[in-house]
Each structure stands twice: as structure tokens, then as C-alpha cells.
Amino acid sequence: MTAPLATTDATALSAVKVGVITFPGTLDDRDAARAVRLAGGEAVSLWHADADLHGVDAVVLPGGFSYGDYLRAGAISRFAPVMESLVDAARGGLPVLGICNGFQILTEAHLLPGSMIKNDHLHFLCRDQVLVVENADTAWTRDYAQGQRITIPLKNQDGQFVADDRTLDELEAEGRVVFRYDGWNPNGSRRGIAGISNAAGNVVGLMPHPEHAVEAGFGTASASGPRAGTDGLGFFTSVLGSLVRA
């Protein structure tokens, strides 16, 4: 786990611009933008029809039901104009986080391997979910420790991560499984995988929602209170710190 930046670095953090993309049907863009601001950065709204990323330093693809998931979750968004710029930038090292529907979009855009299908029980699920941090070396997880257990909300219908055995073996061998479900596997994802990264570690996708556990009183249940959990904030402090240190 990387030590968080000192409060004296607040000015440097505030200069970091994190883009949050809104597609038709996106639900959690404002939550993601608030998480960026609470972490100390500047949130920049990006529209699906934008031709470029407006000079941001990182990008979040938030959750929701982009284009209504009418064809397949994330499949239409993959062809949105903003994605052409995003794919090129991600391959060049831009930190990108895909949350839930954003994770689905990243697989459709081939920035991450595998695919997302309906939960094995075929029901929408919403619950607080414990995750094990398997990789604390990505741009989005450096403020966590390997093996740490965190609790953030999970809400999805098409949350089952699938891939062939060869791909799964590669992800395991290369340390690219970033999060795993702790205890019960809520959607049947192969090997209990909740989140993965690309080989460089700048692109991360996961099904649970860290942006919903960033502020006491509005987070998950914890020892401090029923809604006091803020385990998701580390995603956003991690990327801001990574960019400032770079």
C-alpha cells in the first residue's frame, strides 16, 4: 500500500482532472464526479458524443444502462465517438476505471478481456459486497494493501464475468485479477473475479461500485455505523496520488 499524500499536496491534487463519461442511460456519473471531488481532484464531465477527452488526466466510465443495454450491456457504447479517443489514450497509458456498466464497456472495447453475461441466478442484485484486494499495484488501487478486505455496494443484472480457461490462467499468472468476491460469489463470475486490469495496470474494471462508498453517512455498513463505510474512496485517492507522483 502506498502512503497517502500529505495534506500539503492538496493544491497538486486539485490540478488533476478526471473525466467522467455520460452515455444515454448512465446513472452514476454524478456519484463518480463527487467521488473525484471528495478525493481532492477536479471532475470533468465528458459527453458520449465528444470527439476528444478535453485534456483530462484520467477517465471514469460509470455505471448505469448505457443506451438501455438494448443490444448487449456496453455493446453500443463501444462505438460512441468519445470511445475512439479513449481507446487510443488508454493504450497510451491513460488511467481508466470502468465501474459496472463501465466494466462491460471496457470488455466490449477490448481494453479488457472476457465478457459480462447475466447473473447465474438471473436476478438483479443490490447488496453491500466484501471484496479481497488481489492487486494493489494498479493506478486505481495503490492506496490499498494486497489481501485487504473492503466493502462497497454491488448492483447489477449482467454481472457474471466469463472468459475461457486460457484467458483466466493468463489473468491469474500475470497478477491481473485485481478484486475477488469474498465468501459468496454473488453472480457466478469465473473464479470469483470481481475486477481485472490490463497488462500495464492503468485500465481497471470491476462490477461493484466504489463511488457509492466514499462519504460517511452515505456508504456501506461498517463498525462505525450503518452507512459509515468509505472503502471506495481509495480508488480515487489512488489515481490522483499516482498522477501527482508521476
Catalytic (active site) residue 209 = yes
Per the residue annotation, which of 48, 108, 134, 211 is the catalytic one? 211
Catalytic (active site) residue 54 = no
Per the residue annotation, which of 100, 108, 134, 215 is the catalytic one? 100
Q: Are 17 and 51 in contact (CB under 8 A)?
A: no
Residue among 211, 6, 187, 188 nearest 97 (CA): 211
Per the residue annotation, which of 134, 209, 212, 215 is the catalytic one? 209
Catalytic (active site) residue 211 = yes
Kindly report the backbone phi and psi dihedral angles of residue 42, in degrees, each rounded to the nearest multiple of 5, phi listed first. Answer: -105, 125
CB-count exposure of residue 28 (10 Å: 0-12, 13-18, 19+): buried
As annotated, the active-site residues are 100, 209, 211
